[in-house]
């Protein structure tokens, strides 16, 4: 450990110990707080692209500045992924493997951080539970950045409207969104904090429908760089995690799929390598009341059944059946998100993923 990292660890640990009035030789590792040894980030995946033959432009970069010539020709790094990690100080590490958190479509790693209502998200929950945590922004999202189109990305980006998010994420039924918050209708008993929905809308980022191959390649590179690991994945990210596990079943020790929207076709994929990779599927409420989800879930069910049929571990948290009712698609942001995270943590305990 470098002197800077050691100092950070000692500072955080000592602050936590002082707050809890413990002696200097005692480490309070019951999950009420945690000590951090390192916070950092990196980019992985991607490739170099050279552009030529494009016209130059003159651009004024800031008010009052003279125009400057911008030449878009040259070498660029594109299709990379951004990853931020938080590593715990030794006594606080209780997980056998780091936890990688992969987001869904039109979103970024912010999904796992502070919730839109200002409360702590799953990143902090699982740090307290004893996991080193890696939160990523996939290719084209957030700090991963994107590239020119059509020269590199083949199509232009598209964006999710707030109406689509409100209804597709099952906060309210079809045609229940209104610009005026007072006129929006909800599913009875919804757990999503309605007062935070417009704040949640600020998390939306551009996305492309033509970048799956480069996104998968970046995720595969991440697995090779930091794993063995456990992956918790949401929505569109499901397919990337399932395929990453097929390619590296020795490095991925478990997949926790939170409402995945896609999965490999068992009729076209050999799932035998996943026999030793336990899977947990987590589902919220109102799935039968949204048309797209009624079309999506049978594909995931077939994948789950195929995993079990070839001798693998594929288990399910059907939250309404467990008494956790009212959860949206963004269940890691719902009011009862900590209770759901604890169910996931309990499963990891049962699967021998903790020390």
What is the structure's pLDDT at 30?
65
> Which residues, other chains included, contact 10 with Cβ-Cβ below 8 Å and sequence gap of 6+?
none
What is the structure's pLDDT at 248?
98
Contact (CB, 8 A) for 279 and 314: yes
Average model confidence (pLDDT) for the chain? 92
Contact (CB, 8 A) for 45 and 57: no
* Closest CA relative to residue 102, chosen from 133, 127, 125, 145: 133
Q: What is the pLDDT of residues 288-340, one digit of tens each?
A: 999 999 999 999 999 999 999 999 999 999 999 999 999 999 999 999 999 99
Task: Supply the Cα-derived Rg of the chain in whole angstroms.
Answer: 22
pTM: 0.91
CA–CA distances in Å: residue 119 to residues 43, 334, 337: 28, 10, 10
> Which residues, other chains included, contact 271 with Cβ-Cβ below 8 Å and sequence gap of 6+?
246, 264, 303, 306, 307, 310, 312
Distance CA 114, CA 12 (A): 20
> Which residues, other chains included, contact 89 with Cβ-Cβ below 8 Å and sequence gap of 6+?
9, 12, 13, 34, 35, 36, 37
**Pairing between strand 133-137 and 74-88?**
antiparallel
Q: Report percent pLDDT > 70 for the chain.
A: 91
Instruction: Show the DSSP H helices in the chain as ranges.
Output: 3-19, 122-128, 162-168, 197-201, 212-226, 237-247, 291-309, 337-350
Contact (CB, 8 A) for 151 and 54: yes
Q: What is the pLDDT of residues 202-231, one digit of tens each?
A: 999 999 999 999 999 999 999 999 999 999
Backbone φ and ψ of 264, nearest 5°: -60, 145
With tokens 């707030």, the residue in question is 162
Q: What is the pLDDT of residues 1-54, one digit of tens each?
A: 554 444 444 444 444 433 333 333 355 556 778 999 999 999 999 999 999 999
Backbone φ and ψ of 153, nearest 5°: -75, 135
Residue 63: which pLDDT band, with cuts at 50, 70 and 90? Answer: very high
Q: What is the pLDDT of residues 223-241, one digit of tens each?
A: 999 999 999 999 999 999 9
């Amino acid at each position: 450990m470098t002197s800077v990292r050691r100092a950070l660890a000692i500072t955080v640990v000592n602050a936590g110990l002082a707050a809890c009035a413990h002696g200097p030789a005692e480490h309070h590792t019951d999950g009420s707080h945690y000590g951090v040894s390192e916070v950092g980030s990196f980019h992985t995946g991607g490739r170099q692209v050279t552009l030529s033959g494009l016209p130059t432009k003159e651009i004024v970069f800031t008010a009052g500045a003279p125009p400057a010539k911008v030449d878009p020709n040259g070498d660029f790094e594109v299709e990379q992924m951004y990853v931020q990690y938080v590593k715990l100080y030794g006594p606080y590490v209780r997980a056998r493997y780091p936890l990688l958190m992969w987001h869904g479509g039109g979103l970024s790693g912010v999904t796992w951080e502070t919730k839109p209502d200002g409360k702590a998200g799953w990143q902090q929950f699982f740090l307290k539970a004893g996991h080193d945590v890696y939160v990523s922004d996939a290719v084209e999202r957030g700090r991963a950045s994107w590239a020119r189109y059509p020269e590199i990305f083949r199509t232009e980006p598209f964006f999710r409207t707030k109406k689509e998010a409100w209804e597709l994420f099952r906060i309210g039924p079809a045609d229940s969104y209104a610009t005026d918050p007072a006129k929006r209708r909800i599913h009875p008993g919804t757990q999503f904090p309605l007062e935070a929905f417009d704040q949640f809308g600020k998390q939306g980022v551009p996305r492309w429908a033509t970048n799956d191959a480069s996104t998968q390649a970046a995720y595969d590179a991440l697995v090779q760089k930091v794993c063995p690991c456990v992956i918790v994945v949401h929505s569109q990210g499901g397919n990337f995690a399932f395929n990453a596990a097929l390619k590296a079943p020795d490095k991925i020790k478990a997949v926790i799929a939170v409402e995945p929207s896609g999965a490999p076709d068992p009729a076209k994929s050999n799932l035998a390598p996943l026999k030793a990779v336990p899977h947990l599927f987590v589902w919220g409420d109102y799935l039968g009341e949204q048309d797209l989800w009624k079309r999506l879930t049978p594909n995931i069910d077939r994948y789950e059944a195929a995993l079990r049929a070839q001798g693998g571990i594929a288990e399910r948290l059907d939250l309404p059946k467990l008494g956790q009712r009212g959860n949206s698609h963004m269940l890691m942001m719902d009011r009862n998100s900590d209770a759901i995270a604890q169910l996931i943590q309990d499963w990891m305990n049962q699967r021998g993923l903790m020390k």
